[in-house]
Structure 1
Amino acid sequence: MPIRSVVFDVGETLVDDSTFWSSWASWVGVPHHTLAALVGAVTALGHDNAEALRLIRPGFDLAAERVARETAGQGESITEKDLYPDVRPALSKLREVGFWVGVAGNQTARAAALLRQLDLPVDGIATSGEWGTAKPESKFFARLIDWAPGRADEIVYVGDHPTNDIVPAKSAGLRAAHLRRGPWGYLWADDQVVKDNADWRVDNLNQLSEALSCQ
């Protein structure tokens, strides 16, 4: 079945999350390496990465803390330097050969606005904060299928996380590409679940754009 649309996750797919986690470490008052180690630990246990913040501050309310950071002028930031080097060339190539290219991930509405300000070579940007549903919920992927051109099996979803990205995308009828990048991508790159569900397994986005461009 020909591919019409390619949709990308955000964190550790397009965006290096180092700035994201460093800003949270500063906010909760711990060294950056401390939070990084805790994120790695909860990742290995299969927990939500926000659990790392709750280990530092029991009862941590992520939504409330986001508001507090905005009020304090320390809200989230996504700039050009946070993009992985292969993002612009890979997305540009996919558009050049005729694919509709989108970005849709578990981010806030503010993150969507920040991504749009970067003028990425994409046709659409959306986040869970705008849609009111988040991965791995089936409603998120149903919304994505309505949003991106093509039937479900003509859409590729690209991400690093098997539970949030690869498995639910395949369950929704999408094609799936696993990116070996970031803690989740590296940890589960050779997991049988990824092998069984990913139509493509790549180390960088240029590999994916090459593979899809040859179809």
Structure 2
Amino acid sequence: MLVLVLCFAGTALAAEKEVSSIDAIDMGVADTGETHFTNTDAEITECTLPYTVAVLPYVDVSGLEGRSREMAVNAVKEALETKYPGKKKSVTKIIGNNAVQKALLAYPFENAEVPTLEELVAVGKACGADRVLFISLLPVREKETGFMVIVGSQTYSAVVTMKLKCVDVNEERFLFNQNVESIGSSSSINFWKIGEPSRAKAVKRGVEDCMRNFLTSFE
């Protein structure tokens, strides 16, 4: 963290750029609808409705490590920033991370991995949001297939499941409340034992599909 000697300079910098609840997403902390497989070809586009959105801290119970975990959270952030770019001209506003954290302290969840509608609405009202997004990456199932003699092919598959919720705070109802599942894969043609499919890319593609299904399901 950058330490500023002059407090006035620090205040000016903070006023210039507050960390949004999307920017604050990192690799996470270690009653929902049915599980659905992703089946949409729709692309995520920038939201054009004038509302405020709060993105709650990302929950990762996937069991992933290293590069796979890093690429998963990056895929989540990229999807959110596509729908909610947070530009000066954007009509949809993103609630700052500080406001979200204060609301969570005031209205803590009984179970941080499975917040209820009432809990999400309370947090949304406390931080002044019209909508609240909850994103959780559940345990990932992995599989590798293929053959290898001298030249061969291998495919690495990752079954990604995400618990995804979007709440309309003013109407006190879910706009989206599902576990979404997708199979991401990565393939390679190998010579002898040189080269292998990327596990991290397989996970990333699965997360991208889940987030696409989620963020194209509501305006």
Q: How would you bin the TM-score normalised by the shorter chain?
A: 0.3 to 0.5
More helix by share: 1
TM-score (norm 2): 0.32
